[in-house]
Structure 1
Amino acid sequence: MGLTIAIQKSGRLHDDSIKLLKECGIDIANGVNKLKAEASNFPIEVYFLRDDDIPQYVEDAVADIGIVGENVVYEKNKKVEVVEKLGFGKCRLSIAVSRNEKYDEHSNYLEGKRIATTYPHIVQKYLDEKNINAEIHEISGSVEIAPGIGLAHAICDLVSSGSTLFMNGLKEVETILQSQAVLIKHKGLGAEKQQILDKLLFRFQAVKKAKNNKYILLNAPNENLAEIVSLLPGMKSPTVLPLAETGWSSVHSVLSENEFWDNIERLKAAGAQGILVVPIEKMII
């Protein structure tokens, strides 16, 4: 018995979902316009669905698991379990108003206003939490034009760079939800399928850790070795190997990219030379 996973058949999460599965060593032959495909080397079958439908399919156990944006999970409000945040497809659900409007989050600006959105459930929950009485206009697309044509005073929509808002004369004023791709599962998943899911999660996590970390190699003068090692904590401690040239050692470590950039100037000041930063394909801890 294999696992079934639902992913977007098209859209912003499709390519990244397929890429993640391939990075996990799962070979999927996805022909043009195919609605499902079976992996040749892992007990999993992929369904290609509309993103809005994925939570329903998982709740109904038509698909055991699915990859979908958090915004869709919370908007559809289905009985599914979020088991892993996947680190791609990051965006935010935000309130936006005309650039000419004076907006103060403490002034109760939205009271009595009309808000256009494709996320009425999330927006209503936000309004209830803020004790704001506003009218929600649910529309299926082109939310950004609503203020310009007089349909609404504000919108609530997904934002990545903000360029679409800018081109439509809008400004982002408040974020109500941070979103990224997540893995969801059916709450009644059986033990056999859970074992397969655990193996899949192990692979997902190995790929995620690899993307967030880099393999660092550098040459260090022995007199400054202790200082340089202290700047490279790594997973446990760096590997130090003697070089052919007397008085020098090669230092190898794994650390997050942010830690590296924070310490690069101090490493150079301590005498580190020949610094190499190498991407990691998989990382098992």
Structure 2
Amino acid sequence: MRVAVPNKGRLKTPALRLLEAAGLEPVIDGESRALMSPTRWEGVSLVFLRPEDIPVFVAVGAADLGITGLDYVAESGVEVEVEARLDFGRARLVLAVPRDSGFDSPSDLPDGVRVASKYERVTRAYLERVGVCGVVVKVSGAVEVMPSLGVADAVVDVSSTGTTLALHGLKPIDVVMETSAVLIRSPRSNPGGLVGEVAEAVRSVVRARTTKLVLMNVPGDRLRRVLEVLPAMEAPMVARLESPEPAWEVLTAVPERDLARVIIEARRRGARGIVVLGVERVVP
């Protein structure tokens, strides 16, 4: 089976790191000019493609799985299955105009406004949705300079921090869509078997990145109150300690977003010797 991976851009490095953590390290260096590489996982190869082309290759079955941006999936217009939202590549696709344009919202744009973007399909759908009768100027790069060159009156482009837009004298006036990296599957591929195993391996790494393993010692007379505030996948693991006074070791998995609250409340209820560890995989 084949997994399509970005060959350039902001998604390439984090995608390769994710696949390596999932056991899919390429045998050929990902920085080489090779277009395909076997991986350490027998029967699985990586194919390196432009991120905007990956949805199409996956849709037709040329690759069973792929990692690309949700914005590229939307722009492609093809049917693929989203197996997982990944934890990188977060950005917004925004409508931006020159700071001195006098436009502050999409409703301010006049009929016939020219909007430059490499996301032609997404931009047309957006303009229709907000009721703007405009002309989409399809470009393949350097979108931010189009207004200053007189090619367009506005742009639709990806923005992570807004810095690049500001450098070119642009300000965002609306969010077209939120995007992030996603793992997609071909509708022509069997979701079970090897494809399913690889997809689950990737998901297990993504889950682990937002989960911490918490260990603590709890006096016997405080155990019940501490357990009341501990989350767990099913239930915390509890083991008796060989100590002069009755005491227990408690181990549980905690979502990272809840970690500070859980530690504070567990200490307040009597837990001590709290240790927090990273997790490599989480498989429900």
Three-state SS of the structure 2 residue aligned to 1:196 is helix
1:250 aligned partner: 249
In structure 2, the CA distance between the partners of 1:278 and 1:103, relative to structure 1 (3 Å rule), is farther
1:158 Cα deviation (Å)? Answer: 0.7
1:150 aligns with 2:142: no
Report the more deviating stretch, 92-101 or 207-216: 92-101
Alpha-carbon separation, structure 2, partners of 1:166 and 1:223: 59
- Aligned partner of 1:275 in structure 2 is 274
1:220-235 alignment to 2 at 5 Å? 220-235=218-233
How big is the shift at 1:247? 4.9
Name the TM-score, length of structure 2 as normaliser. Answer: 0.88
Aligned residues between the structures = 280
Query: Which residue matches 1:205?
Result: 203
- Contact 1:26–1:42 (Cα < 8 Å) also in 2: no
* Offset, 1:208: 1.7
Q: Deviations over 1:133-161 (max 9, x none)?
A: 12222222121222333333321111112
Aligned to 2:55: 55
Sort the Cα spacing of 1:128 and 1:282 in 2 relative to 1 into closer, same or farther, 3 A. Answer: same
Residue 178 of structure 2 corresponds to residue 178 of structure 1: yes
Q: Which amino acid aligns with 1:215?
A: L
Aligned 8 A contact 2:88 2:181 in 1? yes
Give the secondary-structure state (helix, strand or coil) at the position aligned to 1:201: helix
1:236 corresponds to which residue? Answer: 234
Give the root-mean-square deviation of aligned CA atoms.
Answer: 2.3
Shift of 1:245: 4.8
Instruction: Name the SS for the 2:52 alignment partner.
Output: helix
Find the aligned partners of 1:267 and 1:97 in 2 and give their Cα distance.
51
Q: Distance in 1 between matches of 2:246 and 2:98?
A: 65
Taking the aligned partners of 1:76 and 1:241, their CA distance within structure 2 comes to 53
Structure 1 counterpart of 2:92, one-letter code? R
Q: Which runs of 5+ in 2 are unaligned?
A: none
Normalization by structure 1: what TM-score? 0.88
Amino acid at match of 1:77: G
Q: Take 1:266 and 1:133, find their aligned partners in 2: how far apart are those partners?
A: 56
Secondary structure in 2 matching 1:108: helix
Tell whether the 8 Å contact from 1:212 to 1:257 is kept in structure 2 after alignment: yes
Residues 34-73 of structure 1 mapped to structure 2, 5 A cutoff:
34-73=34-73
Aligned-pair CA distance for 1:282: 1.2
1:259 matched residue in structure 2: 258
Q: Deviations over 1:198-227 (max 9, x none)?
A: 111221122122112110112334443333
The structural deviation recorded for 1:75 is 0.6
Does the residue aligned with 1:151 lie in a helix, a strand or coil?
A: coil
Q: Distance in 1 between matches of 2:244 and 2:104?
A: 64
**Structure 1 position 232, deviation (Å):** 1.0
User: 1:195 corresponds to which letter in structure 2?
Assistant: G
Pairwise CA distance, 1:102: 5.1
Which residue is 1:91 aligned to? Answer: 91
In structure 1, give the amino acid aligned to 2:116.
A
Other-structure match for 2:108: 109
Distance verdict in 2 for CA 1:130–1:203, change over 3 Å: same
Q: How far 1:30 moved relative to its partner?
A: 2.0
For residue 115 of structure 2, what is the amino acid of its counterpart?
A: I
Match of 1:22 among 20, 29, 46: 20
Q: Using a 3 Å threshold, how does the CA distance of structure 1 residues 247 and 111 change in structure 2: closer, same or farther?
A: farther
Corresponding residue of 1:120: 120
